[in-house]
Amino acid sequence: MKILIHPTSEGAVKAAALQIADLLAARPEAVLGLATGGTMEPVYAALIDLVAEGQCRGDRFTSFNLDEYVGLSADHPQSYHHYMRRHLFDALGVPAAQTHLPAGDAPDLAAEAQRYEARIAAAGGIDLQLLGIGANGHIGFNEPSSSLASRTRVKTLTRSTVEANRRFFAEGEAVPVHALTMGIGTVMDARHILLLATGAGKARAVAGMAEGPVSAACPASILQMHPSVVLVCDRAAAADLRMTDYYETVHPDGAERTGEPA
C-alpha cells in the first residue's frame, strides 16, 4: 500500500483529483468506480477544474458508483444519483448512458444487485476505484461485520452512519437506513484503488485500515490484501498511524516520487 500523507486536506484533495486526471489523460475511456459523501465534493470540484484546464477529457469515461440509498429515486435531492449529477456529471457533460449507479428504488433489489454486477463485468471491470472511508472503517456501505467476500447487495446502515449522513438531509426528514452497495469483493476486483481520507474524524479508521489486523471489524482493512492501493490522506487523518516516520521518509509531504522505491 502506498501511503501519501499531505500536510493539508487541500493538498490531499488535489493529489487525489490529479491521480484521476492522470488516468483520464492516459485513457479517456477508463472505467471509474466513484464514491459520494463530503470527502469527495472537493475532489470532484478539483477534477472539473483540471478538465477545464485541459489536463484530461472528462466526457469519455464510464463510471460505476459504489452505492445508493434504498427507497430514494434518482431525482430525490439526497439520492446519490442526484449528488453525482450535481457535483460532477453535469459540469463535465458526461453522457448519462456512461454513468451507472444502483437503483435504490428498484422493485426487486436482489435482481438489481445482480444486474449491477453484470454491468460492471460487461464494461470490462473497474480500472480505478475511488473510495472514502467511514469513521467505523466502512467502504462503500459495507459496515463492520460485512463479509470480506461480499458482492453488491442491500446493507443495513449502522446507527453511527445514519447519524453521520443526517447532515445531508433537511431537519426532520427521514434518513435512509438501508443502502444498495457494491460488496467488498466487488471493490477488491478493481485493478487500482485510491482511498482518500481527510480530517481527524477518520484517524482511527485510517490506522485500522493500514496497520490493523485484516478483519471484518474494520472492512477497509481488507485493502491490505489488494496489490494496488494508494491511500491519500492529510495529517489529521494520519494522526493515529504508528509508522508515519517511515511513510514520510518514502513520500515526504505526500510526494509521489523521491527516487526511492515505494
- Does 35 participate in binding ligand F6R (rule CB under 6 A)? yes
Nearer to ligand F6R, 58 or 132 (CB): 132
Task: Judge whether 67 counts as a catalytic residue.
Answer: yes
Site for ligand F6R in 108-167 (CB under 6 A): 132, 134, 138-140
> How does DSSP classify residue 8?
S
- Does 67 participate in binding ligand F6R (rule CB under 6 A)? yes
Nearer to ligand F6R, 62 or 146 (CB): 146
Q: How far apart are CA 41 and CA 94, in angstroms?
A: 17
Question: 65: alpha, beta or left, given left = phi > 0 and alpha = psi -120 to 50?
Answer: beta
Task: Give the active site residue among 6, 81, 87, 138.
Answer: 138
Q: How far apart are CA 173 and CA 119, in angstroms?
A: 33
Q: How many CB atoms sit inside 10 A of residue 214's CB?
A: 15
Stretch that binds ligand F6R, among 37-45, 86-94, 170-178, 214-222 (CB under 6 A): 37-45
Task: Judge whether 143 counts as a catalytic residue.
Answer: yes
Task: Judge whether 256 counts as a catalytic residue.
Answer: no
Task: Judge whether 138 counts as a catalytic residue.
Answer: yes
Contacts with 52 (C-beta within 8 Å, 6 or more apart), sequence order: none
> How does DSSP classify residue 175?
P
Q: How far apart are CA 130 and CA 30, in angstroms?
A: 13
Q: How many residues bind ligand F6R (CB under 6 A)?
A: 12
Q: Quote the least distance from Cβ 258 to ligand F6R, whole Å.
A: 29
Q: Which residues bind ligand F6R (CB under 6 A)?
A: 35-39, 66-67, 132, 134, 138-140
What residues are annotated to the active site? 67, 136, 138, 143
